[in-house]
Chain A
């Protein structure tokens, strides 16, 4: 379907519905696609696209950041994905720790470190290198694979659907439909979303995918349905990726988890199972971590990342945005990651 045609459809359907509608996307890559292609500006007046807690770096709790930075400062080698190194914590960021002499390495792919370090260190039988496992269901299987290869992991992994439930319960956030994350859904499938009685479309990341998702959400609203539709059929299957899910279940146990902005969410985090205790940084370095936690003095920060993550305010409504908080000098997580809504808004819309 051509762009003009689908935009016409969206305009007609929005006019038919009349009332204001707020659709929330739940993935940083969707936020990026929407900004990059100027999709918000193409929407009819009564459709507002809002950003949810879909950036894993952004929703990672301050305490996890402080612990991992503390471990790096304590002399333990820390390996992580590139977008996590700049997140500021009470002890500074991993990047600052690196500049001060700590061993902090970035990878695009955890197997890079498994290849170069893990096998050699296994032969020596000792390793003081920790991989910071971060992300939703899309990166969790890779971490699980790395654990199986013998890598030591500090897990900040999160499970996405429980956060959707919290958003729906928040009376300060009005949501008329979700654009569900395409690549998280590749792993977890589409059926798990059925528990949420709200129009939902699992969507891909091209401009056309997002427009089709909006069109499908409008169809659901007009017909009074609350279904889970799959727009991203070229990749996402109903049952998800069973191999990846099995690997996750074998390696991790589900725990309550603190999310930035959303607080503690029941059954929304993943920690290593006891059988992998010997590879669990939280167990191995428990004394150092206890020490780090006791010494943390939270600094006051006017950053409103927590509200941005719930779609309660837009990035530009934060007093720090674009003034003292920029991608070069981020004051909060949402400005650090290229998937963070403040970073995206700064790059494309400021």
Chain B
């Protein structure tokens, strides 16, 4: 199935994605630290400040980040699910 390139291949491209300024880009990340409305989120090695005023979240949980804002909490088992997308 050579045309199927969609398996989960780690976190390649995330740095590029963070550098782009396109609005509809959403990336999941893990909350490392929280300070008021801002959290430091780890995108597998790349850390970025994210606004968490739209969600109730704790350190260690995963969020989906869209245009700099965490839009919701992700299920804890989501990483396992993504990794299961093997061909």
Task: Determine chain B's interface SS by DSSP, over half rule.
Answer: loop
| Extra A-B contacts (14), CB below 8 Å, given A187-B71, A207-B5 | A28-B24, A37-B6, A56-B23, A82-B20, A82-B21, A108-B22, A110-B67, A183-B24, A183-B66, A206-B8, A208-B85, A235-B78, A243-B53, A338-B22
Q: Contacts of B77 on A, CB cut-off 8 Å?
A: 234
Task: Answer whether residue B46 sits at the interface, using C-beta atoms and an 8 A cutoff.
Answer: no
Establish whether residues A41 and B3, one from each chain, have CB atoms under 8 Å apart when the complex forms.
yes
Interface 1/0 per residue, B11-27 and A, CB below 8 Å: 00000001011111110
Instruction: Give Cα A241 to B53, complex, Å.
Output: 12
Establish whether residues A38 and B87, one from each chain, have CB atoms under 8 Å apart when the complex forms.
no
Task: Answer whether residue A52 sits at the interface, using C-beta atoms and an 8 A cutoff.
Answer: no
Interface residues of A in 76-119 (CB under 8 A from B): 81-84, 106-112
Establish whether residues B1 and A208, one from each chain, have CB atoms under 8 Å apart when the complex forms.
no
With A82-B20, A235-B74 as contacts: A145 and B69 at CB distance below 8 Å: yes
Establish whether residues B51 and A36, one from each chain, have CB atoms under 8 Å apart when the complex forms.
no
Instruction: Give Cα A108 to B25, complex, Å.
Output: 9
Establish whether residues A36 and B21, one from each chain, have CB atoms under 8 Å apart when the complex forms.
no
Q: B64: nearest residue on chain A (CB-CB)? A: A235
Question: Using a Cβ–Cβ cut-off of 8 Å, how many residues does chain A contribute to the interface with B?
Answer: 53
Of A136-144, A172-180, A195-203, the one touching chain B: A136-144
Q: Contacts of A81 on B, CB cut-off 8 Å?
A: 21-23, 67
Q: Contacts of A255 on B, CB cut-off 8 Å?
A: none
Establish whether residues B87 and A107, one from each chain, have CB atoms under 8 Å apart when the complex forms.
no
Establish whether residues B5 and A234, one from each chain, have CB atoms under 8 Å apart when the complex forms.
no
Cβ of B27 to closest chain A Cβ, rounded Å: 11
Q: A39: nearest residue on chain B (CB-CB)? A: B6
Q: B73: nearest residue on chain A (CB-CB)? A: A235
Establish whether residues B69 and A142, one from each chain, have CB atoms under 8 Å apart when the complex forms.
yes
Central interface residue in B56, B66, B74, B78, by most chain A CB within 10 Å: B66
Central interface residue in A57, A135, A145, A186, by most chain B CB within 10 Å: A186
Cβ of B72 to closest chain A Cβ, rounded Å: 5
Establish whether residues A112 and B68, one from each chain, have CB atoms under 8 Å apart when the complex forms.
yes
Task: Answer whether residue A2 sits at the interface, using C-beta atoms and an 8 A cutoff.
Answer: yes
Task: Answer whether residue A312 sits at the interface, using C-beta atoms and an 8 A cutoff.
Answer: no
Cβ of B4 to closest chain A Cβ, rounded Å: 6
Task: Answer whether residue B82 sits at the interface, using C-beta atoms and an 8 A cutoff.
Answer: yes
Instruction: Give Cα A244 to B78, complex, Å.
Output: 22
Task: Answer whether residue B7 sits at the interface, using C-beta atoms and an 8 A cutoff.
Answer: yes
Q: Contacts of A38 on B, CB cut-off 8 Å?
A: 3-5
Task: Answer whether residue A315 sits at the interface, using C-beta atoms and an 8 A cutoff.
Answer: no
Establish whether residues A134 and B64, one from each chain, have CB atoms under 8 Å apart when the complex forms.
no
